[in-house]
Amino acid sequence: MDSARMGKNTLLYFAQNRMANRLAKQYGLKLGAKRFVAGTSIDAALQASRELNAHGMTVTLDHLGESVANAGEAHKATQSCLEVLNAIGQVGIKARLSIKLTQLGLGLDRELCLTNVLTIVENADRLNNFVRIDMEDFRYNAATLEIYRRVHRDFPNSVGIVLQASLFKTKEDALDLAQAQANVRLVKGAYRESSGVAWQSKSDIDASYVDLLRIYLRTGNFTAIATHDDAVIETIKDFIHANKIPLGRLEFQMLYGIRSELAKQLVRENYPVRIYVPFGNDWFAYFMRRLAERPSNMAFLFRRDTSIVR
Ligand SMILES: Cc1cc2nc3c(=O)[nH]c(=O)nc-3n(C[C@H](O)[C@H](O)[C@H](O)COP(=O)(O)OP(=O)(O)OC[C@H]3O[C@@H](n4cnc5c(N)ncnc54)[C@H](O)[C@@H]3O)c2cc1C
């Protein structure tokens, strides 16, 4: 294994290490994580959202956290999601919510998790909002899709899902979800997966990603194109024009703190753009995945941050 890949695997290992997560919480938003996380409080996240809205971008809020240890923690995370939905309605920002199912108990008890997700999506539906279920590592893929399908049956307009281009199974999943008119966010995939289930090289993952974007955009269902990759974005813009895909059925999505100039450029070109804004104390795993995506980000470990909105 080459050293870059070893470094990436080490960061992804730490992302799932409980002790490292606990230590990070004690030290606040240090280690340069501020570049990728809007703050620890909901007020900080709402402020970042207002600023992004002012730049013509909508937002997805993510109250950070994953892999809870017991039902009480899953319940607490559910309540936090409800608070975020209520706050969005009260302050009147253009924002939605993303959730991770292991934060809502998927690793403990599937029924408990389903109940929590139904509670959140039911509230979002009542508030005319929308909840996207993020996709975590492969262990949870099938269960996440199953819960999504179940919730989508009751609330077809208020819940969406994420598919990862790195996985071999995703093409089949995409075709299947297209039949159900699912609103899908397509990503390359942020987790370390085995060669038995996922492409390993960047070129294979990139090719799969473009292939899936073309397939899904053509189905006529809503497609969120979640990437910072210039080459992919240019290819897909050409595809959108050549195939006259209505702009109301797609949006570009990017992560807070990454390629913000590119996001602004897309807004100037009149594309819908949504920024994923994570906040909260449980920032460590999220931050490790961002470092793993780009080794040069390690420089942020040693830098003091000043501004948070880019
Ligand atoms: C809105 C959104 C939601 C996501 N949700 C999920 C999810 O639910 N499940 C999941 O597995 N993954 C998710 N991801 C992460 C995704 O899978 C990729 O890991 C991530 O987007 C990096 O891939 P890329 O498409 O930007 O392409 P890359 O080829 O990795 O990057 C292209 C360029 O973007 C810039 N860039 C990319 N990442 C970084 C970074 N960390 N720091 C600095 N610059 C960077 C660099 O300039 C790089 O050259 C999400 C991504 C986005 C944008």
Cα–Cα distance list, 52 to 70, 101, 124, 165 (Å): 35, 26, 21, 28
| Best residue among 59, 96, 140, 188 to mutate for probing ligand 1, ranked by most atoms within 8 Å of CB | 188
CB–CB of 189/165 below 8 Å?
yes
Pick from 172, 187, 175, 178: nearest CA to 221: 178
What's residue 275's pLDDT? Answer: 98
What's residue 2's pLDDT? Answer: 66
Domains along the sequence of the chain with CATH: 37-282 (3.20.20.220)
Beta bridge partners of 251: 224
Decide: 189 in ligand 1 pocket, CB within 6 A: yes
Question: How far does the centroid of ligand 1 lie from the alpha carbon of residue 49, in Å?
Answer: 20
Q: What is the pLDDT of residues 16-40, one digit of tens each?
A: 777 667 666 666 666 678 889 999 9
What confidence category does residue 284 fall into, taking pLDDT thresholds of 50, 70 and 90?
A: confident
Question: How far does the centroid of ligand 1 lie from the alpha carbon of residue 54, in Å?
Answer: 24
CB–CB of 188/166 below 8 Å?
yes
What's residue 28's pLDDT? Answer: 62
Q: What percent of the chain has pLDDT over 70?
A: 89
Question: How far does the centroid of ligand 1 lie from the alpha carbon of residue 115, in Å?
Answer: 30
Q: Is the pLDDT of residue 186 over 90?
A: yes
What's residue 309's pLDDT? Answer: 34
Question: How far does the centroid of ligand 1 lie from the alpha carbon of residue 154, in Å?
Answer: 31
Q: What percent of the chain has pLDDT over 90?
A: 79
Q: What is the pLDDT of residues 202-225, one digit of tens each?
A: 999 999 999 999 999 999 999 999
Decide: 259 in ligand 1 pocket, CB within 6 A: yes
> Which amino acid is present at 218?
R
CB-based burial, 32-47: b 16+ in 10 Å, e otherwise: bbbbbbbbbebebbbb
Q: What is the pLDDT of residues 96-113, one digit of tens each?
A: 999 999 999 999 999 999
Decide: 122 in ligand 1 pocket, CB within 6 A: no
Averaged pLDDT for residues 293-304: 70
Name the E strands within 131-249: 131-133, 159-164, 184-187, 223-226
Decide: 134 in ligand 1 pocket, CB within 6 A: yes
Residue 307 CB partners (closer than 8 Å, separation 6+):
none
Q: What is the pLDDT of residues 257-282, one digit of tens each?
A: 999 999 999 999 999 999 999 999 88
Decide: 228 in ligand 1 pocket, CB within 6 A: yes
Q: What is the pLDDT of residues 72-101, one digit of tens each?
A: 999 999 999 999 999 999 999 999 999 999
What's residue 297's pLDDT? Answer: 75
Q: Is the pLDDT of residue 1 over 60?
A: no
What confidence category does residue 177 fall into, taking pLDDT thresholds of 50, 70 and 90?
A: very high
- Across the chain, mean pLDDT equals 92
Q: Is the pLDDT of residue 300 over 70?
A: no
What's residue 66's pLDDT? Answer: 87
| Best residue among 101, 164, 187 to mutate for probing ligand 1, ranked by most atoms within 8 Å of CB | 187
Decide: 58 in ligand 1 pocket, CB within 6 A: no
Task: Establish whether 185 is a catalytic residue.
Answer: yes
Decide: 233 in ligand 1 pocket, CB within 6 A: no
Task: Establish whether 176 is a catalytic residue.
Answer: no
Residue of 62, 134, 206, 282 marked catalytic: 134
Question: How far does the centroid of ligand 1 lie from the alpha carbon of residue 256, in Å?
Answer: 11
Q: Is the pLDDT of residue 306 over 50?
A: no
What's residue 307's pLDDT? Answer: 37
- The residue whose two tokens read 């979640």 is 226
What's residue 136's pLDDT? Answer: 97
